[in-house]
Amino acid sequence: MARYHRYLAPDAARTFLAARVLLRSLLSRYGSLSPTAWRFLANPWGRPYLANEETLPGLRFNLSHKPGFVTCLLGCDRELGVDVEDRTVERHHLLAIAQRFFSPAEVRDLMELPQLQQPERFYELWTLKESYIKARGVGLGLGLSKFSFTVRGNTARVQFDPGFPDDAARWSFQLFRPDGEHIMATSLERVGSEAAVIEKGDGNDVVRRGIEMA
Ligand SMILES: CC(C)(COP(=O)(O)OP(=O)(O)OC[C@H]1O[C@@H](n2cnc3c(N)ncnc32)[C@H](O)[C@@H]1OP(=O)(O)O)[C@@H](O)C(=O)NCCC(=O)NCCS
């Protein structure tokens, strides 16, 4: 509540509140605590995790929000990350941003596309890269240009530069377009040979009810 009251912009405050209500309500669906009872700690890079982990052993979650849109990914015994972006935001220097943050292979992929298709691919690559960074939990210091995504429909493959400390085979990636404005990517660690199945839900009612009850 203290953080909520520090927001000066009402939209940002509402989005922050919705993210908390969504996360706490979802945790209470799976664990035996009430929404207000969950406590969080953060790793050195700011990634929140459950302080009451014994209530839900192995549970992982990740939040992503843009003004007016909140998403929360939960899973068990695997690393995971999610990112959402508003793909209707026009970026005039799209290729310059890509050249700064993407790998050379991703920049080539983007530049080979007809100009009209470039914004969509830009957001696909952006959300995939962010969701992976978030799944690792160690922030941007990991080096955004040291791994490359290849998009195939709503899935993607990753290739790491030689010496990059990860194994591409342990991840699965998905892209979602939940409405006309947003694009979302998830990075999920595989457990065994099976890729995880993501069960989607609309959190509007959960958030509305949670705010009414608070
Ligand atoms: C902070 C960062 C983890 C995500 O930033 P973002 O995309 O602006 O924000 P999102 O809404 O997707 O995610 C924010 C949430 O991620 C979680 N988070 C914070 N630090 C995290 C970390 N190190 N790892 C994973 N999750 C983290 C938090 O729950 C946070 O929400 P909260 O503050 O309300 O609790 C980080 O990746 C970042 O600073 N990105 C900057 C954007 C950029 O330059 N991107 C280049 C893309 S190619």
137 CA → ligand 1 middle, Å = 9
- Looking from the CA of residue 48, the nearest atom of ligand 1 is 29
77 CA → ligand 1 middle, Å = 21
Q: Beta strand pairing status for 171-176 and 155-160?
A: antiparallel
CB 207 within 8 A of CB 27: no
pLDDT in tens, the chain (214 residues): 899 999 999 999 999 999 999 999 999 999 999 999 999 999 999 999 999 989 999 999 999 999 999 999 999 999 999 999 999 988 888 999 999 999 999 999 999 999 999 999 999 999 999 999 999 999 989 999 999 999 999 999 999 999 999 999 999 999 999 999 999 999 999 988 777 899 999 999 999 998 888 7
pTM above 0.75, yes or no: yes
**Chain length of the chain:** 214
Give the whole-angstrom CA distance, residue 135 versus residue 116. 30
Give the whole-angstrom CA distance, residue 45 versus residue 135. 12
Q: Closest Cα to atom 6, ligand 1: which residue?
A: 64
- Looking from the CA of residue 46, the nearest atom of ligand 1 is 20
- State phi, psi for 99 to the nearest 5 degrees: -65, -30
